[in-house]
Amino acid sequence: MEKKIKDIIPQMSLKEKADFVCGQDFWHTKSLPIAEVPAVLLADGPNGLRIQEDATDHLGINDSKAATCFPTAASYSCSFDPELTALLGDTIANEALAEKVGLLLGPGINIKRNPLGGRNFEYLSEDPYLTSQLTIPLVKALQAKGVGACIKHFAANSQETARLINNSVIDERALAEIYLPQFEAVIKESQPWGVMTSYNRLNGIYTSESQELLQEKLRKNWNYQGMVVSDWGGTSDRVATLLAGMDLEMPYQDEANAEKIITAAESGDLPIEKLDTAVTAILTFVKKTQQNIHQSTFTEGQQHQIARKIAEESAVLLKNQDNHLPLTNFNQTAVIGALAKTPRFQGSGSSKINPTRLDCPIDFITGNDVTYSQGYQLDSEELFEEELLAEALKNAGKADNIVIFAGLPDSFEGEGYDRQHLDLPQNQNYLIEKIAEVNSNITVILMGGGPVILPWAEKVKSILLTYLAGQAVGSAVANLLTGKANPSGKLAETWPKKYSDAPSALTFVKDVKNTQYRESIYVGYRFYDTNKREVAYPFGFGLSYSQFKVATPEIEKGNNNIQVTVEIENTSSIAGAEVLQVYVVGSKKIPTAEKTLKAFQKVHLDAGEKKMVHFELQRDDFAYYDVSTKKWQVVEDQYTIYLANSSRNILAEMQLALSGVTDVKIPGEKIHPSNHSNEHPFAITEKDFAELFPAEKMPTMAASQKLTVDSTLADVKTVGGEMIYQSLISNLEQAIGGDPALYQMLMASIETMPLRSFKLAGAVSEDDLTQLLKQLNQEE
């Protein structure tokens, strides 16, 4: 690609331009032989590479080439360590270079609004600041080696149910303070080569068609210079997406959308300048990939070792009664649980990696008289099986220590559907309760993509959370149990005591087509701490085998910043790491969260070592978003700064007076958590929520009078199209073949699938779809 981009575009015909912005196949941008522009490979995998050579799909079903499976975002976010995420980006780049990948489709940086989110394992946190600070170094490291990052899903993609049609109804302040800050920070600080739009609508408009998102915020306000790409099959109206500023549609399906682009350009409905802008963005991306001079030098063993390091430094020790851990050795240890032999180490869907190897925990727990019992059926919720339970009880009764592996099976969470509850399978809870009756020296290893309820927590000695820790999970767990590695992870999301405590519990996936984010800015710890609600484990929580002493911090106010300095000491005989966290307490003059994370540092200390830790806060860290002025404002007030090691464990308080606005009138007082009982769910009425939309009616999607490509299978049945409904399902079943995993995934969301998705799946053609809609709408 030697020619300058400005010289290439005049050589292209309208058809070539229309084709160029639609992709070449499932995973490549389109080549342009007239200008020697090559096709570029895009690859799934925020926590590793998913590259398919044969049958292709975007749901992780068909085989892919072997690649290192690193811990998922739910896991590595608990490291609270930007240096570690930089290492992750650098290490993934090694394999991406070797496979000639131009753009890695990740990381996913959406906010975890609700603990039942089926794809939460692929996202980092409930907090936008933590998300941004861990993502920026990852993106920079990846791109420093010549591999582009594509942050996703832009924006407000917080559920999997009806994800292709759902409308996220969010007030302006919540967007500014919760759902967009991490995207803004990552874009401004690291300029990722790609931004992927989400499937959902946002306030009534598909994100891929939103000029406010893609033009005003992304391009104008944030000065984004890269390429905007659709999620796979995530466009409804291709011409509308070009008008909004979405450049590349993926994957290629057929000629229909290119023809629509040509027709719109010829009629003047699509200015040619808009099409040229998209072509330029894609060409600019391709040129970046061709300028890479980096060499890929690595071994599979080196990659695996780094995967283990990340897993070890991300694990969270939730309980360690009487310093039960670390174990001296594994002698006389009973290992119980099917997950010890078949560990859950990654999520399902588009991020599912074919690992280069897999460390099964049972292979690394070795010693004299180590026994193993399956304990439960992993793919069943049957309460118990007599033989499995009897064997587990027998082995537990003879052991000095018991290590039980528990967690969520694949069927409980995954791309395309949300979790149904926060419980572990009943057979696992029953097993742990029965084991505790014969021997209390129990360590539970938890695997899964999100919070679970632990009814037996008081009956076991220790609990170690791995989330989904990648292919080195087995060796990492063994090292953590014996103290070769010291747990230092902190929870990047709050674990509630029960699901009804979650601030979005009453609105999450209750309405298939419209989801009202009635909790507004009160997401995660912002709600729980403001409401003084008891939680199982707070945001930022995590234990260590070491003990730390933190001195009284000193605060110094400058012209535009605030310096906080504190000494921390490891008072134990074990080297370890602590994460110091700085929270700002909101002004009492406005409805806002009690506290907000504004800084953190992970501090590694040898036994007996002391270190001085420095934090710098900016005036903007005390600001709120004023919807009336469209600006960030600081209220004149006396502020409190907390130094903590979780959102609930405050180590020190500091006071600070700031000047600012004095006449403050903003909506939201009625939904402030302090006005709601701690004993009942956070029940915000639609009327109170509507007050957050003062300028206009809430952007709710009404039922359409006519069926369109965005209508669902449920809509087809509603208008009496039962025969067409059955025919579409039959076509879909034939298109996916006999794959049970894909069938399960699709059946979980079948009723909410828009008709256009059947075209992507190969179940209907463009012409078929047009004729179906005419028939359903009773048109001639």
Tell me what pLDDT residue 61 has.
54
Q: pLDDT tens across 106-145, in order?
A: 999 999 999 999 999 999 999 999 999 999 999 999 999 9
Cβ atoms of 675 and 519 closer than 8 Å: no
Q: How many angstroms separate the CA atoms of 241 and 221, rounded?
A: 19
Decide: helix, strand or coil at residue 364. coil
| Distance, CA of 707 to chain centre | 33
Cβ atoms of 39 and 24 closer than 8 Å: yes
Angle at 249 between CA 248 and CA 255, to 5 degrees: 120
The CATH class given to the 5-290 domain equals alpha beta
Structure tokens at 359: 């460390």
Tell me what pLDDT residue 760 has.
81
Tell me what pLDDT residue 381 has.
74
Q: How many angstroms separate the CA atoms of 600 and 614, rounded?
A: 10
Residue type at position 33: P
Kindly report the CATH number that applies to the domain delimited by 546-666: 2.60.40.10
pTM given for the model: 0.96
Residue 485, φ and ψ in degrees, nearest 5: -125, 145
Angle at 51 between CA 29 and CA 91, to 5 degrees: 105
231 is catalytic: yes
Residues 6+ apart with CB under 8 A from 143: 149, 190, 192, 193
Pick 277 or 728 by higher pLDDT: 277
Tell me what pLDDT residue 742 has.
63
Mean predicted confidence (pLDDT) in 93-105 = 95
- The dihedral over CA atoms of 170, 171, 172, 176, expressed in degrees to the nearest 10, equals -60
Domain ranges of the chain: 5-290, 300-493, 494-543+677-702, 546-666, 713-776
Residue 57 above 60 pLDDT? Answer: no
Q: Write out the H or E segment, with its range, that includes residue 384.
A: none
Tell me what pLDDT residue 56 has.
60
Catalytic residue among 81, 231, 237, 637: 231
Tell me what pLDDT residue 725 has.
81
Tell me what pLDDT residue 740 has.
58
Mean predicted confidence (pLDDT) in 530-555 = 97
**CATH architecture entry for 300-493:** 3-Layer(aba) Sandwich (3.40)
Place of tokens 């990648």: 470
Residue type at position 381: E
- Kindly report which listed range (126-135, 325-334, 457-466, 692-701) carries the lowest average pLDDT score: 692-701
Q: pLDDT tens across 701-737, in order?
A: 877 778 999 998 888 888 877 888 888 888 777 766 6
Burial 585-613 (b: 16+ CB within 10 A, else e): bbbeebbbbbbbbbbbbbbbbeeeeeeeb
Tell me what pLDDT residue 46 has.
83
Residue 739: pLDDT band (50, 70, 90) is low
Mean predicted confidence (pLDDT) in 405-426 = 93
- Kindly report which listed range (47-61, 80-94, 672-686, 752-766) carries the lowest average pLDDT score: 47-61
Q: pLDDT tens across 661-683, in order?
A: 998 888 888 999 998 888 888 99
Residue 288 above 60 pLDDT? Answer: yes
Pick 770 or 63 by higher pLDDT: 770
- Kindly report which listed range (43-47, 321-325, 476-480, 621-625) carries the lowest average pLDDT score: 43-47
Burial 626-643 (b: 16+ CB within 10 A, else e): bbeeeeebbbebebbbbb
Q: pLDDT tens across 501-540, in order?
A: 999 999 999 988 899 999 999 999 999 999 999 999 999 9
Cβ atoms within 10 A of the Cβ of 204, count?
A: 15
